[in-house]
Structure 1
Amino acid sequence: MLDLRPPVNLVARRAVLFWASRAALGWVVPLVGELLWLLLGGGGAPLTIAIFVTAGVAIAHLLIMPQWRYRVHRWETTDQVVYTQSGWFNQERRIAPVSRIQTVDTERGPLERMFGLANLTVTTASARGPVHIHGLDLDTAQRLAAELAARTQATVGDAT
């Protein structure tokens, strides 16, 4: 039986830099748009203030969010369950029985590949949807996928 403590494993430390980089890319569009608007002759003082506010919020987001997510995002597997905790404002804990696992997938986008990270998706026979573990070291994700696939195959039942 699994008690309701946080899962024991943290994601890869490199996930902090990955989350910050991905968030930084999201802040480029509004900042560049505001700067172009200012340079092309519109806005004046109110737009200058908006640029500083946008930059301030962006910096706060880039400094706080990745660290916060790193402290919250955790995972653990046992012979019986996959247990995850994720989120930063809305935090969620999920416990999925190994007997209900249908598929185990790893995913890597271009940024994840740059940082040597991977995401693991465990699809179960649940209306709640799959269990995700984001920000794993690539070797850990591949090992975990193989272990879960082997455990699932060794479990009696049809995962429905």
Structure 2
Amino acid sequence: MQSADLTLRPPRHRVSRAAIWFWGVRAALGWTVLLAAQVVWLLFSDDRGPHVTGLAVTAVLAVAHVTVMPWWRYKVHRWETTADAVYTQSGWLRQEWRIAPISRIQTVDSERGPLEQLFRLANVTVTTASAAGPLRVHGLDRDTARRLVDELTASTQATTGDAT
């Protein structure tokens, strides 16, 4: 199949369900820092009215973000590999669909941060010759990520072409 025959379509595979909890916890940690700063500001303020209102608005936004965003991202984030291409779909407010022919792959990497290790998750980054940047698959379970990296590495080595 030529790369011109590849069509942009929704990928078949979802990320790990553990990614829902990971995204929620990561978001909650960020909101906790902001809420703590607002509480400290409130404690040292003479006029508490506006600060209480700000704190209440922040708390409502935090709860909405922490509860909605992880599920929304889980429904959107997808990936797939075929003998010819890697397909990704990601985002939650701004969504992106990408496709990269196997012959264009230059490197395949996997990374896990401390919080991802806690949730047994990993990310796979596929670097291509594209000016759009690498394709990223976030929220895979470790074993799936390991198999994906091995599969893409083998496919890339077996594919003729100059990856440019």
Once residues 61 and 107 of structure 1 are traced to their aligned partners in structure 2, the CA distance between those partners, rounded to angstroms, is 25
Calculate the TM-score normalised by the size of structure 2.
0.94
- How far residue 98 of structure 1 moved from its aligned partner, in angstroms, is 0.2
Q: Which residue number corresponds to residue 42 of structure 2?
A: 38
Of stretches 2-11 and 67-76 in structure 1, the one that deviates more from structure 2 is 2-11
After superposing on structure 2, the runs of 4+ consecutive aligned residues of structure 1 that deviate more than 6 Å are none
Q: Is the 8 A contact 2:16 2:141 kept in 1?
A: yes
The one-character-per-residue Cα deviations of 1:96-130 (angstroms, maximum 9, x if unpaired) are: 00000010000000000000000000001111111
Q: C-alpha root-mean-square deviation of aligned residues, in Å?
A: 1.1
What CA deviation, in whole Å up to 9, does each residue of 1:78-113 have, x standing for no partner?
A: 000000000111111000000000100000000000
Distance 1:57 1:42 in 2: 25
Aligned pair 1:131/2:161, yes or no? no
Residue correspondences, number? 160
Deviation at 1:29, TM superposition (A): 1.9
* 2:55 aligned residue: 51
Q: Tell me whether 1:28 sits opposite 2:32 in the alignment.
A: yes
Show the 5 A alignment for 1:1-160. Answer: 1-160=5-164
C-alpha deviation, 1:3, in angstroms: 4.5
Give the % identical residues.
Answer: 62
CA drift of 1:2 comes to 4.8
For structure 1, the residue ranges without an aligned partner over 5 or more in a row are none
Report the 3-state secondary structure (helix = DSSP H, G, I; strand = E; otherwise coil) of the residue aligned with 1:94. Answer: strand
Equivalent position amino acid for 1:15 in 2: A
Consecutive unaligned residues of structure 2, counting only runs of 5 or more, are none
SS of corresponding position for 2:22: helix
Q: Could you tell me how far 1:53 is from its partner in structure 2?
A: 0.7
